[in-house]
Structure 1
Amino acid sequence: MSLSTAYFTLLCVGLGLMLLQLSVSQKRLEHLFFAIFCGSMAFVAAQQLSADRLGPYQYLLGIGACATCNAMWLTAKSLFSGEDSISKRHILFAVVLAALVVINNSMQMANELSILSNNVYSLLGNSLSEIINLLSSTVLLLICWEALNGISRKPKDEFWQRVLFLSAAVIGIVLCTVVEKAFVPVDKLPTVSPWLVVISALQVMLVTQGILFWRLCKKETDTEQMVNELSQGESLNIEPSLVSGIHTLLNEDKKYLMQNLKMIDLANELNVSEYKISRAIRYHFDAPNFNHYINRLRIEYAKELLERPESQHWSILSIALESGFSSLATFNRVFKKQLGYTPNEHRKNVMQKAGAPVHLI
């Protein structure tokens, strides 16, 4: 198979998976970020396929390839840490890296069109490339970290999903770094290196899509079980042992203090379906959904910490993390939504009544 065929395959797979994510009826952030990644990889393939015909204008397609590792990092973060774990600073970091890639491609095109002198390009272009390589390497490590973080505490399904994703990411990194530099002769790099990139990209895309499909099947299984139980008139038949188990895990063991706690974590602990957990939360614990109930418990705990004299020197960020939230932005948003005022305002009011100095950082 020729290299052009490999790039054409990457182009088709990238476009196909991008359209597949956009066609999902109930899109989550991981679908959107993965669609951006697949589209960006399609631009990579298109640039390589049309480089000879487009000449310097190939870099216009290169501009579209500005969301590769940064988009995959956001995909992994959303997939394994939840949508709430992504804050504005994560988006900003990814956008900055994309902007640097856009600037780099623009400079390359300007240089080949003789708009930018060779001396200026050599000075700025080389420095910019080094910065991009450094940031990209950092993002690749973050991708692996998202899959590895807390993997031993995850339920069986998510454990193997993380192992699968981590394996694909590590294989891709090893192929494009260790194998390329240690085992490929310098004179064969122009021929072999593109193959390594294509193979790495394809296997990462296919594995990620496989994980998304895995989760969809699991969700459909739970939905089918819910429909079957409802058809049998069991909607309110909640076992006392299930209610007791949820109460023990959340109110006594304080599982809600675990960051990124998911309903499937409780379901696996109690050996029941997610639907049964959801039903018990709605009908017995008087909450519209699982996340709302968990956030309610976390906010109550955070209020206690904000009111304790011994923790008044703690920063608001420390309070947020200690209460189970993964970011300060999420904590502030949920706190204000439930109580109508911010954590800082709550602490200020409590401390003013007690006559103590206020720590708002």
Structure 2
Amino acid sequence: MDASALHTLDFALRAGLVTLMLFVAAVLWRDARSPAYKPGALVALGVAAYALQSASGFSSWPPLWRAPVAMLSTGNAVMFWLFARSLFDDDFRWHPLHGLAWALLAGLALVMCVFGPRLWLGLAITLATLGFALLAVAQTLASWRADLVERRRRLRVFIVGAGTLYTVVQVAQRLGSAEPAGPVAALADMAMLSVIAGVVSWRLIGVPADGVLGSARVPPAPAADARPEPGAISEPPVDPALITALECLMTEQRVYREEGLTIARLAERLGVPEYKLRRAINQGLGYRNFNVFLNRYRLDEAKAALADPAQAPVPVLTIALDAGFQSLGPFNRAFKAATGQTPTEFRKAALA
């Protein structure tokens, strides 16, 4: 393929990717129904900026145009990490330090635009990009076992595999050569990025997103006479006997107290495949995360103990450990999130 054809194909890929990412950003920002939508919109903007920044001739752009594009592109490493956190952590909340991290990394790009390329600046940006990519992968894997949403679990696999491969290739290229990528390498880069962006975009906005994005609890089950939407994938109904057996284990045998209880061990106790138990807890009981499901029972027991006058002398730590929490910190955070009070404040109000 001659240079002219390579240039034309590269331009077409970049134009298509920029158009797609701007469209995705607009849709996600407009429909900000969950914490993951806005980070997703900003990641899409960052990908569009990268497609422009990595194009040949970008360095000849006027500085006032080049600087914001470079900042969006470089700071996208932070936004991708935040996107992974918000997508796979139902309790994710924005923090001012997140904005500071983005500003610091984007600031390095601004310095490079103003003062020209510097070896130490390029190395710092490359290492920071790799660091935030690894944080995103760690976040994606951290709660893999506890995630009950099957479509979201499959999306994790794609993001971990494709995202890690793309990042490793990019970092290796930057560290291995100080020269800009050749036309073939640049075209391959755009092709790989377009495929990844296209798949993730389709998963986020091209299919019903209730199973991927949403609140910590799924919507109520539809009425028995409700008709499925055209093109919807029907799933077998949840076995009521499994729900009954599960509730028996949790309320009568109090298995939630067991240290290190996993969904695999619970499925073994019930004698069912793990995927069936996941679907039962997710679709039958409305939970998206296994730990949140367990904490419901632990917190109910802890609240009953804290409100019991006979247990007034019992330390809060003892109550937390008896209910199945491994330490006081996670118990206090879960209790405050569920009740709006600390355990001590709850006890004082209950016993007043």
The TM-score by the shorter chain falls in which range?
A: 0.5 to 0.7
| 1:8 alignment counterpart | 15
The amino acid that maps onto 1:14 is M
| 2:134 alignment counterpart | 141
Structure 2 CA distance for partners of 1:55 and 1:136, relative to 1, 3 Å:
same
| 1:171 alignment counterpart | 165
| 1:212 alignment counterpart | 204
Q: What are the Cα deviations for residues 29-68 of structure 1, in whole angstroms up to 9, with x where unaligned?
A: 2222111100122122334557355332311322333541
- Alignment map for 1:4-153 (pairs within 5 Å): 4-24=11-31, 27-48=33-54, 51=58, 54-57=61-64, 58-80=66-88, 82-84=89-91, 86-88=92-94, 91-111=95-115, 126=120, 129-151=122-144
Equivalent pairs: percent with the same residue? 16
1:230 CA displacement: 5.8
| 1:342 alignment counterpart | 342
Please give the TM-score of this superposition, normalised by the length of structure 1: 0.63
SS at match of 2:52: helix
The amino acid that maps onto 1:205 is A
SS at match of 2:285: helix
1:276 CA displacement: 4.0
Report how many aligned residue pairs link the two structures: 305
1:269 CA displacement: 0.6
1:310 CA displacement: 8.8
1:140 CA displacement: 0.8
Structure 2 CA distance for partners of 1:130 and 1:157, relative to 1, 3 Å:
same
- Alignment map for 1:314-333 (pairs within 5 Å): 318-321=327-330, 323=331, 331-333=335-337
The amino acid that maps onto 1:176 is Q
The amino acid that maps onto 2:72 is G
| 2:299 alignment counterpart | 299
Structure 2 CA distance for partners of 1:189 and 1:243, relative to 1, 3 Å:
closer
Relative to total residues, which structure has the larger helix share, 1 or 2? 1
Q: Distance in 2 between matches of 1:107 and 1:191?
A: 27
Q: What are the Cα deviations for residues 292-330 of structure 1, in whole angstroms up to 9, with x where unaligned?
A: 987653433455898754936999993243x5xxxx756
1:179 CA displacement: 6.1
Q: After the TM superposition, which of the residue ranges 265-274 and 136-145 deviates more from structure 2?
A: 265-274
Counterpart contact for 1:66–1:99, Cα < 8 Å: no
- Alignment map for 1:211-250 (pairs within 5 Å): 211-212=203-204, 216=208, 226-229=222-225, 241=241, 243-248=243-248, 250=250
Q: Distance in 2 between matches of 1:171 and 1:301?
A: 45
Note the residue ranges of structure 2 that are not aligned, 5 or more in a row: 1-5, 213-217, 228-237, 264-272
SS at match of 1:65: helix
Q: Distance in 2 between matches of 1:207 and 1:302?
A: 44
1:167 CA displacement: 1.4
1:212 CA displacement: 2.7
Q: Distance in 1 between matches of 2:72 and 2:168?
A: 25
Q: Distance in 1 between matches of 2:334 and 2:153?
A: 25
The amino acid that maps onto 1:18 is A
Question: Considering only aligned residues, what root-mean-square deviation do their CA atoms show, in Å?
Answer: 4.9
Counterpart contact for 1:250–1:256, Cα < 8 Å: no
| 1:285 alignment counterpart | none
Q: Distance in 2 between matches of 1:253 and 1:214?
A: 40
The amino acid that maps onto 2:106 is V
Q: Distance in 2 between matches of 1:152 and 1:33?
A: 24
Q: What are the Cα deviations for residues 199-246 of structure 1, in whole angstroms up to 9, with x where unaligned?
A: 4433332232243358726759x9897144468xxxxxx986355234
1:273 CA displacement: 8.7
Structure 2 CA distance for partners of 1:248 and 1:63, relative to 1, 3 Å:
same
1:99 CA displacement: 0.6
Counterpart contact for 2:256–2:298, Cα < 8 Å: no
Structure 2 CA distance for partners of 1:215 and 1:249, relative to 1, 3 Å:
farther
SS at match of 2:197: helix
The amino acid that maps onto 1:226 is P
Please give the TM-score of this superposition, normalised by the length of structure 2: 0.65
